[in-house]
Structure 1
Amino acid sequence: MALSEYEQKMLEQLEAQLRDEDPKLAESFQPVRQVSLKRIVVGIFIVVAGLGLLVAAVATEMSWIGIIGFVVMLGGAMYMLSGPIGSLGSGAGRPRQPQGSAKESFMSKQEELWERRRDKDGR
């Protein structure tokens, strides 16, 4: 279910407030790595090539080729799993509002909504 425009705006304000108040907690909710299909395919190819060298070493009884094959497999796995670090939803392109006014406007809106609810319920 998609969020309404109002809900999306409120969510963005809450996220901005969380980032301002506790940046470490906010970073823990962000995805850490961006997966690249090209890196995965190339990494799998390198691992298979290393496995081929390992099988060739067993067939020819040359242990040094097996060691090279293992190192190639390890390198392919490292290449596949490591990659450029980047967060998917960092919001880097979004302009930031001044810190004080964003908090004040958000809190004033929340207080206003709270007062309306209290008046509506008759309390």
Structure 2
Amino acid sequence: MPLSEHEQRMLDQLEQALAAEDPKFASSMEGSRRGGPTRTRWVIAVVGVVAGLGLVLLGINTTMWVGAAGFAVMVAAVAYALAPPRKGRGGLAAVRADGTTGPSRGHGGGGRQKSGSGFMDKLDDRWDRRSQDGWR
């Protein structure tokens, strides 16, 4: 079921706020949108599993170590196929208050600076109000 326009706008705003607050987490979550391994990864995995199986069968006739190496090749091929692909720098672009996009500006010191415009700042303010009203 597709999202309505309002829901899509809200989702876009949440993504932008997330990218502004924590760009590293946002870029790691962006990779999880993909459905799974790409065709190239599947082909490499199949070739690796077949080669590993061949080494296992060869290891039956020769030594145990060849078979163990074949098993390791098979496991590595499957792990490669199922691992998320590495992405270069980039991902979701942070949208600043002035409307420009780009990487998020880091917070200079060790303390947190509240600008009042970030998504997490708004959530923190709501939490503080709840705590003051006796919601614990």
Q: Report the TM-score range of the alignment, normalised by the length of the smaller protein.
A: 0.5 to 0.7
CA distance in 2, matches of 1:29, 1:4: 22
Say whether residues 1:99 and 2:99 are aligned partners: no
Q: 1:105 to 1:21 in 2, by over 3 A?
A: closer
Tell me which amino acid in the other structure corresponds to 2:51.
I
CA distance in 1, matches of 2:118, 2:2: 22
Q: 1:69 to 1:97 in 2, by over 3 A?
A: closer
- Is the radius of gyration larger for structure 1 or structure 2? 1
Tell whether the 8 Å contact from 1:49 to 1:73 is kept in structure 2 after alignment: no
1:51 pairs with one of 50, 53, 56:
56
Structure 1 or 2: more helix by fraction? 1
Gaps of 5+ in 2: 100-115, 120-136
- Written as runs of structure 1 = structure 2, the 5 A alignment for 1:84-123 is 85-86=85-86, 92=91, 96=93, 98-101=95-98
Say whether residues 1:8 and 2:5 are aligned partners: no
How far apart are residue 12 of structure 1 and its match?
A: 1.2
In structure 2, the residue matched to 1:38 is 43
Tell me the secondary structure at the aligned position of residue 3 of structure 1.
Answer: coil
How far apart are residue 5 of structure 1 and its match?
A: 2.1
Q: 1:86 to 1:6 in 2, by over 3 A?
A: farther
Tell whether the 8 Å contact from 1:32 to 1:85 is kept in structure 2 after alignment: no
How far apart are residue 48 of structure 1 and its match?
A: 1.2
Query: Identity over the aligned pairs, expressed in percent?
Result: 29
Q: 1:15 to 1:105 in 2, by over 3 A?
A: same
Number of paired residues? 95
CA distance in 2, matches of 1:16, 1:49: 49
Across the aligned residues of Structure 1 and Structure 2, the Cα RMSD in angstroms comes to: 3.7
CA distance in 1, matches of 2:7, 2:51: 47
Q: Deviations over 1:56-84 (max 9, x none)?
A: 23xxxxx3xx2123213212321331267
Q: Deviations over 1:3-62 (max 9, x none)?
A: 0122112201111101111234434534299522212211221221122112223xxxxx
